[in-house]
A and B are shown apart, each in its own frame.
Chain A
Amino acid sequence: MKAVINLKNVTCSFGSKQVLSGISLEIRHKEIFGMLGPSGAGKTTLINILTGQLPYGGEARIFDTECARIGHDVYRDIGAVLDKCGLYERLSCMDNMLLFARIHNVPRIAISDVINKVGLKGSERIKVGKFSKGMKQRLQLACAVLHKPKLLFLDEPTSGLDPSTAAEIHSLMRELRENGTTIFLTTHNMDEAYRMCDRVALLNEGIIAECGSPYEICRKYCTQSEFIIVTSDNEKISLPNSPESAGKAAELILGGKIRTIHSAEPDLGTVFLKLTGRKLTK
């Protein structure tokens, strides 16, 4: 199957500042792809290129259409929750949903289902201007997924949301993926990326430092040959991955003194730090 998104040597600059340099990627059908990087790494710029909002160098294609030439027919297959996309604040939540439902020719009955899924039930008649930031973000997501898009762009979809709402959004993302939606997600939340994404790219200063499945990336950069035991006394013991440690571990197990055993793989944030010298969250 052809890639949904295909980037070959994509570049972008604002004046003399090079924002993206030689980005090459293929994103497959039904994949949740995460673009990780700190603020200013070029994540939003890349989304703006992919959604036809910015000029670029190289080759960028969505559904085999050059991004610079995306027309309204391609947009019909796309959903997006972007920082620059707004809602009608003088209209109610339901009126906003109705507008996008009519544009996409989605029956009215589908609206309440999506509203429930994003946790906005009971707020349908409230004007969007009175919504909190989190509610607006959820409504944006509801408008973006109403027509079950083939490709969904999410720019920091859970930033500023409480953990339970973030979990609801994650569950909606999984459901969309199951129904055939490819998701392109930008985030600097490494836990979200690790749990949600099939593959991630680590973007630093406009260059992809690493790309692959989160698990594979973490394993690849696991240089410490050790494992960690947390005892029932909450004592952390690091043991080398060697035959000598087996005896010690067996002794602890037999003594009923082990609370948990952990591998010592680095997380995505640690890998990013190792590769770039920068923290993901900054």
Chain B
Amino acid sequence: MRTSLSILNKQFKDSLNNLPTLMIIMIYPIVAFIMIIAMRGEEFAGRMFISMFATMHCCFAPATTASNIISEEKEKGTLRSLIMSGVSRINYLVSISLFVILASMLTGSTFLLMDQFDCEYAFKFLSAMFLGAVTSTLLGLCIGINSKNTAAANGMAVPVGLTISLIPMLAQFNDGIAKVSKLLYSGRISLILGDGGNVSWDTAAVIGAYLVLFSVILVFLFKKKGLEQG
């Protein structure tokens, strides 16, 4: 517990001094805010933009942030310093995941300030974002573990994250993409956020399947490559 809190504390301080990470974590709420201000008065604006950008935020930011943190720690040798200090690898992964999810949820909760949400919808909205953030964090951990350095991690995480987060938005304009979007957890998160926070069984099944899939890949990569190798 003490170690996890130390890593969490370190990561908050480090990220506050790291502009690229800050940008990734904050960009979608900022863009959503600007869009809502710019299109104030338009009937479709508010909720649509919020659910669209909230989906992009909870699917893109955790994946890229998690992979970026792990790969940078490998590249700069700080991960080795931590492990040589007696931090267990699992403890490290849990702490970084906690940071990524917390940071994403903290910045993501600002979406609630952009429109009037009743308590029940706000809770469902945050829960859906939390599910998206957890799934994306698992994806980010897989990419981070599999990459030797930040260049390799970003080369993988950015296109994957963008694809996953943009498809639900594009699905609103194209039926073919909408079908593909339903197969992605991000598409399902988008459906929950756009549907008043209601979750259907098939949506729960798709998101559950991705959670299991990413967890299995994570365990496989961790056992095969360890944490420091990449």
User: Which residues does A use to contact B, with CB under 8 Å?
Assistant: 51, 53, 71-73, 75-76, 78, 80, 82, 84-91, 95, 99-100, 102-105, 127, 143
- Assembly CA distance A179 to B86 (angstroms): 21
Check B14 against A72 for contact (C-beta < 8 Å): no
Check A85 against B17 for contact (C-beta < 8 Å): no
Check A86 against B76 for contact (C-beta < 8 Å): yes
Can you list 14 pairs linking A and B with CB atoms under 8 Å apart? Answer: A72-B87, A72-B91, A75-B84, A76-B85, A84-B77, A85-B81, A85-B84, A90-B18, A91-B17, A99-B10, A102-B9, A103-B85, A103-B86, A104-B85
- Assembly CA distance A83 to B180 (angstroms): 48
User: Which residues does B use to contact A, with CB under 8 Å?
Assistant: 2-3, 5-7, 9-10, 13-14, 17-18, 76-78, 80-88, 91, 228
The one of A87, A90, A91, A102 in contact with B5, judged by C-beta atoms closer than 8 angstroms, is A102
For the A-B complex, the count of residue pairs with Cβ-Cβ distances under 8 Å equals 71
- Assembly CA distance A80 to B5 (angstroms): 23
- Assembly CA distance A102 to B81 (angstroms): 14
- Assembly CA distance A64 to B7 (angstroms): 30
Check A80 against B2 for contact (C-beta < 8 Å): no
- Taking A51-B84, A85-B81, A102-B6 as known contacts, 15 extra A-B pairs with beta carbons closer than 8 A to each other, sorted by chain A number, are A72-B88, A72-B91, A75-B83, A82-B80, A86-B77, A90-B14, A91-B17, A99-B6, A100-B81, A100-B85, A103-B2, A103-B3, A103-B85, A104-B85, A104-B86
Which of chain B's residues has its CB closest to A80's CB? B84
Q: How far is the CB of B81 from chain A (nearest CB, A)?
A: 4
Check A86 against B78 for contact (C-beta < 8 Å): yes
Check A87 against B86 for contact (C-beta < 8 Å): no
Which of chain A's residues has its CB closest to B19's CB? A90
Q: How far is the CB of A204 from chain B (nearest CB, A)?
A: 28
Q: How far is the CB of A145 from chain B (nearest CB, A)?
A: 12
Check B84 against A103 for contact (C-beta < 8 Å): no
The one of B14, B83, B87, B91 in contact with A91, judged by C-beta atoms closer than 8 angstroms, is B14
Which residues of the other chain, A, contact B10 by a CB distance below 8 angstroms? 88, 91, 95, 99
Which residues of the other chain, A, contact B77 by a CB distance below 8 angstroms? 84-86
Which residues of the other chain, A, contact B6 by a CB distance below 8 angstroms? 99, 102-103
- Assembly CA distance A30 to B18 (angstroms): 42
- Assembly CA distance A82 to B2 (angstroms): 25
- Assembly CA distance A78 to B83 (angstroms): 11
